């Protein structure tokens, strides 16, 4: 395992926790804005938005955008 892999593995739980926190914060905001809304549907839409962002980041990585970050 190289240094980058070791660093990210050491911070894996922190990274995952931050993603869950972002998801939950946005669910809370949606519930405040639309209290009568379907929370399951909101969660699915939010997950789709997050996945779109991850897909865009993945495309940027493949295009070399982060080669010299």
pLDDT band (50, 70, 90) for residue 48: very high
Which secondary structure element, helix H or strand E, spans residue 22, and what is its range?
Answer: helix 12-33
Dihedrals φ, ψ of 35, to 5°?
Answer: -60, -25
Cα(63)–Cα(3) distance, integer angstroms: 23
Whether the per-residue pLDDT at 59 is higher than 90: the answer is yes
**The pLDDT of residue 49 is above 90:** yes
Q: How much is the average pLDDT of 36-63?
A: 98
Asked if pLDDT for residue 1 goes beyond 90, the answer is no
Tell me the pLDDT tens digit for each residue of 28-43.
999 999 999 999 999 9
């Amino acid at each position: 395992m190289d240094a980058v892999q070791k660093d990210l593995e050491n911070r894996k739980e922190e990274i995952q926790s931050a993603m869950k926190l972002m998801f939950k914060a946005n669910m809370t905001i949606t519930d405040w804005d639309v209290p009568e809304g379907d929370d399951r549907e909101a969660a699915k839409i939010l997950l789709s938005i997050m996945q779109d962002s991850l897909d865009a980041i993945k495309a940027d990585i493949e295009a070399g955008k982060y080669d010299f970050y």
